[in-house]
Amino acid sequence: MVKSANTRKPATGAARNPRALAAKLLAKLAGGSSLTVLFQEELGQVTPADRALIKAICFGVARYWPRLNALTEGFLNKPMKAKDRDIHCLLLVGFYQLLYMRTADHAAVAETVEAARRLKKPWAAGLINGVLRRLQREQALHLARLKDDPALLHACPDWLLKRLQGAWPEQWQQIAEAYNRKPPMSLRVNLAKVSRQDYIRELTAGSQLSRPIPDVPSGLVLDGTPDVVDLPGFAEGWVSVQDGGAQLAGCLLDPRPGQRVLDACAAPGGKTGHLLELECSIELTAIDVDRDRLQRVTENLQRLQLSDSVRVCQGDAAKPDGAWAEKLYDRILLDVPCSATGVIRRHPDIKVLRRDADIAQLVQKQQEILVAVWPLLKPGGRLLYATCSVLPEENQQQVERFLAQYPDAREQIIEASWGHSCSVGRQTLPGEATMDGFYYACLEKLN
């Protein structure tokens, strides 16, 4: 018999137990790998149902990592050895199920114990069984002791909570609480192909409820999280998944017919596509330093049927070189690498991956990129500096320093009802008006 090319390999070991595989992925997360990458690399042979469960567990554990880690350590006489990080993470999986999932307690305990055997560490089965059953008995006592530590109470890394308290003294609790809520599914309607109202009618005809995002002409937020391939016209480029706050970038850059536009840190291409949807006649160049992530830009543009309207090339915005750097641009979108502290709702693994020391390094990189790209802007042109951070060091303080050093740069004040006005630019905060946390500052080059 000829075997089909699409035949799945039989699942073995940890792959047969979603909790075991979740623990393995979380152990790799603790070692510095992002969940986005891990899901792409590790879940190809997993059934859809198990994949959904694994993602739910991994995202949930990451979201509550500071709290779950502290609870787990409180039940252990000594820390796990490095080679048993997967067992430590399996305990986190068990704790998350008992505290936050609707899984029946007996099933959560039994399946998590079995997962230890699937990880080929049967010695840990008794330990996990005892710890989880003890949590069942003593849950209220152990949760009560967390209330004395704000970082554990809010399940937020201590360094980040302190930065939030300093930057947003009136909103820090709101931000920390938003981090722990699952975000809604937001869409960007391609207004070049269909009006938002007509697309709402398409969704309603399929029994999918939606509502417009205030101040975002193309934005919709859905009730529920349907599979994207089931959305009307998704394959034809009618709509893309994109947070409402991210959609503000295209409107602020405001590309005009025939202008030369540079998307200087383009991957994964959401904002790139939006620029072309707003004005298809622009001469758009999209660059990114990461070749693998740049492939996603191309894929997104192909689905939107816009790949022939843009030049996509690998390039380092901090070190302009090549043909793309020999031109001057009317508009530049500079969505710089940042701490991503504004999008933790969607990427809770940031709580695990990011460190306080990273901020100074990111600020330096942002400054290098801004200084390097500024000469590519035409006199009278507009540069939009953007981050998905809520930290002022990466945002208004960064732009203030640049304006003080470059007399040919002037802020174009953003007059808007969304977000919060900063000393320079404007900031959205996680959870407000359905949006994630984004910062924007418009800069004009003087003649």
Of the candidates 58, 89, 265, 388, the residue annotated as catalytic is: 388
Q: Which two tokens stand for residue 119?
A: 């990880």
Give the per-residue SS3 of 42-54. Answer: HCCCCCHHHHHHH
Q: Which two tokens stand for residue 79?
A: 């820390």
Residue from 275, 310, 281 nearest 191 by CA: 275
Tell me, what amino acid is at 304?
Answer: L
Please give the Cα distance from 422 to 441 (Å, whole number).
Answer: 9
Q: Count Cβ atoms within 10 A of the Cβ of residue 213 and give its class: 0-12 exposed, 13-18 middle, 19 or more buried.
A: buried
DSSP string, 285-319: EEEES-HHHHHHHHHHHHHTT-GGGEEEEE--TTS
Residue from 230, 189, 185, 184 nearest 207 by CA: 230
Tell me, what amino acid is at 57?
Answer: I
Please give the Cα distance from 45 to 26 (Å, whole number).
Answer: 18
Q: How far is CA 420 from CA 179, 416, 440, 443, in A?
A: 18, 9, 11, 18
Tell me, what amino acid is at 179?
Answer: Y
For residue 388, indicate whether it is catalytic. yes
Catalytic residues: 388
